[in-house]
A and B are shown apart, each in its own frame.
Chain A
Amino acid sequence: MSDFIGDWHALVVLVVAGFLPNEVWRMLGLWFGGGVDEGSELLVWVRAVATAILAGVIAQILVLPPGALASVPDWLRYGAVAAGFAVFMLTRRSILFGVVGGELVMLAGKWWLG
């Protein structure tokens, strides 16, 4: 069993460095959001901020790509996502077709570059 989890020290590190700093924001949201009315203007703003933060996460992955994605040239990353979005709009907002379309453009581009 100790091989499976590792030592107790590793588990404590997981809780202190991973679980608690992450979970605190969810629980603050629960504490704060527990009393907000569903139709309130505050929620329209909170949702806009959440959407924009998510947009920032998307932009970050594309602009400053992690790991193996950095081997794909800039223009191909942006082009693949733009193509995926175009397919999504043309297929009456199908996420499946959009994702598959974008991936195919990226793979085709990489293959063409050699």
Chain B
Amino acid sequence: MRSVASTVLTLVLFATYLGIGALAHDNHFSLGWVLASTALVWAGPAQIILISTLGSGATVVQAAIAVTVSAIRLFPMVVSVLPMMRTPQTKRRHLVLATHFIAVTLWVECFRLFPQVPRERRIAFTHGLGIGLCSVCLFATTLGYGLAANVPPLLGAAILLLTPLAFLLSTARNCRQLSDVLALVLGLALFPLISLLHTGVDILISGISAGTIAYGVHRWRERE
């Protein structure tokens, strides 16, 4: 629980979920519904997309497609973090709940904090961190839902700027190898270019190409 309290990212999550609670209120969803979405979906961007698409009158199928496109990023995150949690005795079912909690914040924090946690305790650690963060976010969702109409635009802009700032800095701090640094820089540079194509999966295209180029450079340097 100390890890939950000590991270700046908790504050960022708190502010994000304040925004999600307010958004749900403005789109006439019930409080219970948005709380259930926080616990079940547990991914800020997916929830914002879900609430805004359904709220604007899109069909269930349209909303599901938009959500699933936004969620593809969870796949490489889960694949890269799970091997750090596993011991030779670990069964796959032991990892289901920990996997559910993996989202950007937990992914970043696992890379930062795991070196200080003994391997056999890492699953329990992830459960604790996940449940702690989720509780904070459930509270923030409720508070945001209640405050909805009273959020001034400048505060709203400040809340929205928190996400890119915190993601950028925490990813920058977690870079271990040249490939990570390159992937971050190239990913930032490529997206604005690829977004001009309006493919609908721009982030995926720029992410896979930037990541692959970064990995290629890493391989090339290794062989020198």
Please list the residues of chain A having a beta carbon within 8 angstroms of any beta carbon in chain B: 3-6, 10-11, 13-34, 36-38, 41, 43-69, 71-72, 77, 80-81, 84-85, 88, 93, 95-96, 98-99, 102-103, 106-107, 110
Contact = CB atoms under 8 A, between A and B. Distances in A.
Given A25-B68, A29-B77, A95-B8, A48 B161 contact: no
A20 to B, nearest CB: 7
B202 A68 contact: no
A37 B83 contact: yes
B143 interface: no
Contact of A21 (B31, B65, B83, B171): B65
A54 B104 contact: yes
B77 A50 contact: yes
Nearest to A107: B158
B68 A49 contact: no
A49 B207 CA distance: 6
B31 A4 contact: yes
Q: Chain A: interface secondary structure?
A: helix
Given A57-B203, A61-B160, A106-B158, A21 B195 contact: no
Nearest to A31: B92
A6 B188 CA distance: 41
Q: Chain B: interface secondary structure?
A: helix
Given A29-B82, A54-B73, A60-B191, 17 more contacts: A10-B30, A11-B36, A16-B64, A19-B37, A24-B68, A29-B99, A37-B83, A38-B86, A41-B219, A43-B79, A43-B83, A45-B211, A48-B214, A49-B211, A93-B169, A93-B172, A98-B165
Contact of B156 (A62, A67, A80, A93): A67
A29 B179 contact: no
A29 B211 contact: no
A93 B171 CA distance: 11
A110 B158 CA distance: 10
A65 B77 CA distance: 24
A34 B95 contact: yes
A71 B161 CA distance: 12
Nearest to A84: B165
B187 A106 contact: no
A28 to B, nearest CB: 6
B68 A22 contact: yes
A25 B12 CA distance: 24
B60 interface: yes
Interface string B65-107: 1011011111111111011101000001001100110101001
Contact of A68 (B100, B157, B164): B157
Interface centre among B61, B177, B203 (most CB of A within 10 A): B203
B32 A5 contact: yes
B29 A6 contact: yes
A95 B169 contact: yes
A83 to B, nearest CB: 10
B195 A18 contact: no
B135 interface: no
Interface in B1-55: 8-9, 12, 29-33, 36-37, 40-41, 43, 45-48, 50, 54
B29 A10 contact: yes
